[in-house]
């Protein structure tokens, strides 16, 4: 939640308030490793405000504890190194500066704040819950950051799910996305998909992760694929890796093989848990009687040969069924 | 061989039948191969590298103009029904071809300053709107000068403003240099024209397509994109067994928000219908539904692409990923305008600006 909350505050989609975007910050990169005098540290989210040259480095914490060494490294980041590491474009001649912000769940904010104080750091903390995001102590933030986040930002809508899952997410979270990607593969008429390719399609932010996390994601996607195959054994088959081929899912049968009506019913049946989707019940008395009138009128017009061929009537010919 | 200057002769605007132009969105790297495939080799080159003749046996021909490499014009004087049926079969069977999906406002303001002669709205809320609603199904066709003004009056009534969705419009243009022209436009990108000068018609089509293309590009510019920070050599190094450090990724994009002017009363029923794989939405999904909030990993079956969607009582959020087609969102918006709320707005002001064209002042 903390990462998505920070992203939502910085992405002006017009639904939730975006005070960081309103103040000029833009999300520039994620999961960027940066070399400091104390060693390398990975920045979860980096935002840049080009008007004032302000780099905001966000450390997103799901848990209640900080890692003091990591926190000190973050505090030691040289803005010029970060600009190069993140490939940040500086459009105006302003002196870059850097500020660290810890974002955490509101219920852990006291522990996080205490942990930072114990490490000798005066880093601002953004607390996030389902209702709002707010600085725990605005006085800890720079004037620019405090100006943007000085008041709590109440969520009007659920927080945007820019990063809907990661390598540490529970297994069941991957079932829906994997099933959808397999249906997309059916629609594209693909005969099979390797687990690596499927993972990169399901996890659009795959590029963020290191090799170990990527491996975890491939494993979780593979497990979700096996569960999907077990639900649809007539349509899908899992093919384990061999010495020469990668593990893949083979599409045995796709609704694309049917005609138009059969295709719709075929898709409705995929992963539905039932053989065939029931049609929506028709309420008695809702039969469209006007259709009968229209059909009768069309026949009458054809018989008398009165084909209206002016511009707008001609447009009717392109109607999709 | 013919050239572009022959279009006026082959697709006469002053003939006994109107000239038609269908605009299709086409994704191809090899236009000739694409045309040969859809036209089963009944394709003839012309002197123009972007103009082809495509013959439909026993029906006629299309003059296909691919000068805009994404939005192609299929000009013809074939009967509309024959031409539309032939194209519909191609569109529905391919992942690289789609209609245009003009938002209602693009039709409403199709030719600022021109006299609108006939308008038709179609709102068909039968699947997404409650039967107790004031307007479950509203169709209006009016012929007369400034015909859109009646619809503006209906739109001003709160109980009907969601149900005035422009389906077709006919305008009369009279340009001192290009001459008179009567143009009818349908929301799927079908133009029917009668006048004197094909060039006038072609320029009119180009204007409408240009506005639509700007909307599509604006949508695609918002697709979520994570780009690795290192080049391929560094990536290979990263993928070696000893290295386990993220490479970092630059990020761009923003979800696309839709605000409805009305509440979705039955969220479950709405989403079951929306993600039922049925036309016109052709979205597949298994929605996770809570009281006021729905999350779904949907699939646009027309192009075979996955997209995340969230739905609330009066809003929707769409996550388009890099490489996805903006037409997916345009199709969803256009069909929601026809089937649920013609008064919906895109929540980002800059995107709403290109979706809801306002008349040009003066």
Q: Do A161 and B319 touch (CB under 8 A)?
A: yes
Q: Chain B, 310-329: which have a CB under 8 Å from a chain A CB?
A: 310, 312, 315, 317, 319, 321-322
Q: Are A156 and A243 in contact (CB under 8 A)?
A: no
Residues of chain A in contact with residue B308, where contact means CB-CB under 8 angstroms, are 161, 164
| Two structure tokens written together for B279 | 């036309």
Residues of chain B in contact with residue A11, where contact means CB-CB under 8 angstroms, are 254-255
pLDDT in tens, B30-70: 999 999 999 887 999 999 999 999 999 988 999 999 999 99
- Chain A residue with minimum CA distance to B238: A211
Q: What is the pLDDT of residue B53?
A: 96
- Report the C-alpha gap between B168 and A236 in whole angstroms: 44
Q: What percent of chain B is modeled with pLDDT above 90? A: 71
Q: What is the pLDDT of residue B257?
A: 97
| Two structure tokens written together for A12 | 């002006």
Q: If you search the block for the tokens 């995107």, which residue do you land on? A: B351
| Two structure tokens written together for B21 | 């132009």
Helix, strand and coil percent figures for chain B, each rounded to 5: 30, 30, 40
| Two structure tokens written together for B148 | 């859109």
Mutate to test the interface with B, among A3, A7, A9, A13 (most CBs of B within 10 A): A13
Domain definitions of chain B by residue range: 4-99, 255-355
**Distance in Å, alpha carbon of A8 to nearest chain B alpha carbon:** 9
Q: Are B223 and B313 in contact (CB under 8 A)?
A: no
Closest residue to B348, CB basis, from A12, A29, A280: A12
- Report the C-alpha gap between A185 and A91 in whole angstroms: 42
Q: Do A267 and B248 touch (CB under 8 A)?
A: no
Task: Look up the ipTM and state it.
Answer: 0.89
Q: If you search the block for the tokens 């990108």, which residue do you land on? A: B189
Q: What is the pLDDT of residue B95?
A: 86
The neighbour count for residue B193, using CB atoms within 10 Å, is 25
Mean per-residue pLDDT, B351-357: 90
CATH number of B255-355, picked from 2.60.120, 1.10.287, 3.30.160, 3.40.50: 3.30.160
pLDDT in tens, B103-112: 999 998 898 8
- A270 to chain B, any CB pair closer than 8 A? The answer is yes
Q: How far is CA B340 from CA B126, B147, B261, in A?
A: 9, 24, 10
- Report the C-alpha gap between B64 and B85 in whole angstroms: 16
Q: What is the pLDDT of residue B196?
A: 92
Mean per-residue pLDDT, B209-236: 83
Q: Are B224 and A204 in contact (CB under 8 A)?
A: yes
Q: Do A271 and B286 touch (CB under 8 A)?
A: yes
| Two structure tokens written together for B260 | 């409805």
Q: What is the pLDDT of residue A294?
A: 62
Q: Do B248 and A31 touch (CB under 8 A)?
A: yes
Domain boundaries A2-154, CATH class: alpha beta
- Report the C-alpha gap between A56 and A58 in whole angstroms: 6
| Two structure tokens written together for B117 | 């002669």
Residue B134 predicted with pLDDT over 90: no
Give chain B's length.
Answer: 362
Domain definitions of chain A by residue range: 2-154, 171-269
Q: What is the pLDDT of residue A307?
A: 37
Q: Do A161 and B295 touch (CB under 8 A)?
A: yes
Q: What is the pLDDT of residue A306?
A: 37
Strands laid side by side in the A97-105 sheet: A153-154, A132-135, A125-128, A97-105, A54-61, A39-49, A26-36, B249-252, B225-228
| Two structure tokens written together for B299 | 């699939």
- Report the C-alpha gap between B143 and B139 in whole angstroms: 14
- Report the C-alpha gap between A106 and B84 in whole angstroms: 58
pLDDT in tens, B81-128: 999 999 999 998 888 999 999 999 999 889 887 888 889 999 998 889
- Chain A residue with minimum CA distance to B285: A180
Q: What is the DSSP string of B125-182?
A: -TTTS-TTSS-SEEEEEEESTTTHHHHHHHHTSTTTGGG--EEEEEEEEEETTTEEEE
Q: Considering the domain A171-269, what is its CATH architecture?
A: Orthogonal Bundle (1.10)
Q: What is the pLDDT of residue A287?
A: 58
Mean per-residue pLDDT, B155-179: 91
| Two structure tokens written together for A31 | 């999961």
Residue B236 predicted with pLDDT over 60: no
The neighbour count for residue A38, using CB atoms within 10 Å, is 14
Which residues are paired to B20 by β-bridges? B76, B192
B76 contact partners, CB below 8 Å, separation of at least 6: B11, B19, B20, B21, B22, B60, B61, B62, B63, B83
Which segments in chain A show pLDDT lower than 50? 275-279, 281, 284, 302-321
Residue A278, sorted as left (phi over 0), alpha (psi -120 to 50) or beta, turns out to be beta
Q: What is the pLDDT of residue A290?
A: 59
Residues of chain A in contact with residue B118, where contact means CB-CB under 8 angstroms, are 312
| DSSP state, residue B224 | B
Q: What is the pLDDT of residue B248?
A: 86
pLDDT in tens, B261-272: 999 999 999 999
- B176 to chain A, any CB pair closer than 8 A? The answer is no
The neighbour count for residue B321, using CB atoms within 10 Å, is 17
């Amino acid at each position: 939640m903390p990462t998505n909350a920070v992203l939502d505050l910085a992405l002006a989609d017009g639904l939730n308030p975006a005070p960081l975007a309103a103040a000029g910050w833009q999300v520039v990169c994620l999961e960027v490793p940066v070399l400091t005098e104390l060693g390398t540290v990975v920045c979860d989210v980096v935002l840049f405000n080009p008007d004032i040259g302000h780099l905001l480095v966000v450390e997103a914490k799901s848990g209640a504890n900080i890692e003091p060494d990591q926190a000190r490294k973050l505090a030691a980041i040289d803005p010029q190194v970060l600009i190069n590491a993140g490939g940040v474009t500086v459009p105006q001649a302003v002196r870059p500066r850097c500020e660290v912000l810890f974002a955490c769940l509101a219920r852990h904010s006291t522990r996080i704040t205490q942990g930072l104080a114990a490490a000798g750091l005066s880093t601002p903390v953004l607390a996030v819950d389902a209702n709002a995001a707010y600085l725990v102590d605005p006085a800890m933030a720079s004037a620019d950051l405090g100006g943007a986040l000085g008041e709590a930002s109440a969520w009007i809508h659920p927080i945007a799910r820019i990063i809907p899952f990661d390598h540490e997410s529970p297994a069941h979270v991957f079932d829906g996305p994997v099933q959808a990607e397999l249906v997309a593969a059916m629609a594209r008429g693909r005969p099979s998909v390797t687990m690596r390719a499927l993972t990169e399609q399901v996890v659009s932010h795959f590029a963020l992760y290191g090799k170990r996390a990527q491996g975890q994601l491939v494993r979780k996607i593979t497990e979700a694929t096996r569960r999907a195959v077990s639900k649809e054994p007539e349509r899908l088959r899992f093919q384990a890796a061999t010495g020469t081929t990668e593990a893949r899912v083979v599409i045995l049968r796709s609704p694309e093989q049917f005609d138009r009506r059969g295709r719709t019913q075929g898709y409705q049946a995929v992963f539905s848990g039932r053989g065939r989707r029931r049609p929506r019940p028709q309420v008695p008395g809702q039969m469209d009687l006007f259709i009968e009138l229209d059909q009768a009128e069309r026949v009458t017009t054809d018989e008398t040969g009165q084909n209206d061929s002016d511009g707008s009537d001609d447009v009717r010919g392109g109607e999709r069924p | 061989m013919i050239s572009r200057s022959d279009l006026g002769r082959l697709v006469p605007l002053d003939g006994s039948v109107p000239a038609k132009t269908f605009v299709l969105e086409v994704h191809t790297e090899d236009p000739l191969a694409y045309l040969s495939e859809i036209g089963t080799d009944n394709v003839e080159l012309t002197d123009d590298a972007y103009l082809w003749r495509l013959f439909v046996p026993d029906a006629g021909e299309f003059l296909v103009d691919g000068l805009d490499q994404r939005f192609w014009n299929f000009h013809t004087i074939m009967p509309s029904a024959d031409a539309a049926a032939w194209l519909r079969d191609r569109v529905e069977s391919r992942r690289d071809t789609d209609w245009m999906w003009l938002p209602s406002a693009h039709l409403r303001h199709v030719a600022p300053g021109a006299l609108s002669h006939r308008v038709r709205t179609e709102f068909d809320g039968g699947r997404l709107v409650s039967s107790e609603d004031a307007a479950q199904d509203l169709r209006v066709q009016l012929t007369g000068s400034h015909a859109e003004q009646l619809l503006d009056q209906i739109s001003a009534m709160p109980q009907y403003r969601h149900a005035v969705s422009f389906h077709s419009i006919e305008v009369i243009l009279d340009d001192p240099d290009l001459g008179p022209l009567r143009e009818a436009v349908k929301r799927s990108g079908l133009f029917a024209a009668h006048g004197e000068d094909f060039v006038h018609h072609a320029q009119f089509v180009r204007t409408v397509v240009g506005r639509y293309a700007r909307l599509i590009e604006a949508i695609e510019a918002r697709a979520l994109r994570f780009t690795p920070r290192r080049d391929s050599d560094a990536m290979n190094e990263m993928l070696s067994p000893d290295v386990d450090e993220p490479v970092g990724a630059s990020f761009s994009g923003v979800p696309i928000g839709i605000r409805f002017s009305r509440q979705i009363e039955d969220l479950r029923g709405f989403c079951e219908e929306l993600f039922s794989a049925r036309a016109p939405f052709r979205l597949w999904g298994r929605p996770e539904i809570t009281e006021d909030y729905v999350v779904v990993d949907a699939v646009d079956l027309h192009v075979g692409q996955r997209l995340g969607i969230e739905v609330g009582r009066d809003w929707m959020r769409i996550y388009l990923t890099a490489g996805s087609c903006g037409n997916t969102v345009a199709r969803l918006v256009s069909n929601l305008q026809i089937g649920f709320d013609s008064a919906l707005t895109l929540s980002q002001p800059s995107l709403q600006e290109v979706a809801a064209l306002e008349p040009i002042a003066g």
